[in-house]
Amino acid sequence: MRIGVSLTSAHAVTDPRLGVRWMIERARAARDAGLDSLFVGDHHATRVPYYQNVPILGRLLAEWDDRPAGCLFLLPLWHPVLVAEQVGTLAAIAKGRFIMQCAVGGGMYDPEQFDAFGVDPRQRPSRFEQALDIVRRLLRGETVTSEGRYRVRNARIAPVPTEPVEVWIGGSAPPAIDRAARLGDGWLAAPDLTPEQARQQLELYRERCAAHGRTPSAIAIRRDIYVGADPEEAKAVAEPILARGYRGFDPRACVYGSAEQVAEQFLALREMGYTDVIVRHLTNEQPKVLASYERLARVREMVAGA
């Protein structure tokens, strides 16, 4: 099992430079802990500073090495030619393999993003599928003309990635899981799944992969975590955050404890069939986050050695 990180991109700070500094320090900490991949997310029209995926990842790649890196694109909110150009440039900056995570976005549950771009949330599936097709063709170096939600005429991009860009598709609803199985190289399970839900959705994903004759390159799940110095310290940090209703998650979806306890929970996910755990921290207190990264190095060693 591989352990990667999706850095928190939203930081309620009065000086926007501080949030960037935190993200840079966390990318370095993830690198030093030996984590296997680095990602950032995608969100728009926010009320607190949210550091946009393409420029911030370009900066963070200066702190990273040749392990895989990538970012999420909510494809219905982007023009596919622009996405392909951004990915092509990021893949040229990255020293290693580039992974494009993508999803349809929250739609009715997050209308402000779609309103800001003038996108009808009901068009998310059709926009997503056409955009992904165009992006992939452009990244292969093709000249693309396409009709539908996006009208593209004789488009091509440069630079084109020197190696194929892997695509992970996120989703939890059955149609979204089927879409990931049908169109994705890998699947990214949602962070709010309880262990039982994670098992059930993985079973559905495997069933749909078999139906479409597909073998995934990665079966990943995001977990929001905290690795404490010991079980008591982990509880003292994590449980007040969860008691306040952290992101509306069922507390069982979150992982916290000593390095040994966190490794045990990750191994349970590996036993289900997940190949990657992509972590994000429950707390946003910088000293605690950096200390948790240091302990993640031990978690990774235990998972690799099990």
Which string of DSSP letters, residue by residue, matches 215-255? --SEEEEEEEEEE-SSHHHHHHHHHHHHHTTGGG--GGG-E
Residue of 107, 103, 39, 30 lying closest to 63 (CA atoms): 30
| Three-state secondary structure call for residue 278 | strand
Q: Give yes or no for a contact between 39 and 71, defined as CB atoms under 8 angstroms apart.
A: yes
CA-CA distance, 122 to 158, in Å (whole number)? 32
**Rounded distance, CA 182 to CA 211, Å?**
9
What φ, ψ does residue 175 adopt, rounded to 5°?
-65, -35
147's tokens: 């009709």
**pLDDT at residue 108, as a whole number:** 55
pLDDT attached to residue 107: 57
Provide the pLDDT for residue 111.
84
The answer to whether the beta carbons of residues 8 and 284 sit under 8 Å apart is yes
Prediction pTM value: 0.96
* Tokens read off for 117: 């771009």
Amino acid at 165: V
What is the rounded distance in angstroms from the CA atom of residue 88 to the CA atom of residue 259? 37
> Which stretches does DSSP call E strand in the chain?
2-7, 38-40, 69-74, 98-103, 144-146, 152-155, 166-170, 186-189, 218-227, 255-257, 276-281
Q: Which residues contact 40 (CB under 8 A, 6 or more apart)?
A: 6, 7, 9, 23, 51, 53, 56, 57, 60, 71, 72
What local confidence, expressed as pLDDT, does residue 110 receive? 77
pLDDT of residue 59: 98
pLDDT at 253: 98
Q: Where are the alpha helices (DSSP H) in 40-160?
A: 53-60, 80-93, 111-117, 124-139
Query: Along the 306 residues of the chain, how does pLDDT read in single tens digits?
Result: 999 999 999 999 999 999 999 999 999 999 999 999 999 999 999 999 999 999 999 999 999 999 999 999 999 999 999 999 999 999 999 999 999 999 999 855 678 899 999 999 999 999 999 999 999 999 999 999 999 999 999 999 999 999 999 999 999 999 999 999 999 999 999 999 999 999 999 999 999 999 999 999 999 999 999 999 999 999 999 999 999 999 999 999 999 999 999 999 999 999 999 999 999 999 999 999 999 999 999 999 999 998
User: 185 is written with which tokens?
Assistant: 């190289």
Can you read off the two tokens belonging to residue 270?
């590996």
What gap in Å lies between CA 114 and CA 107, rounded to an integer? 7
Which domains can be identified in the chain, with CATH numbers? 2-219 (3.20.20.30)
pLDDT value for 157 = 98
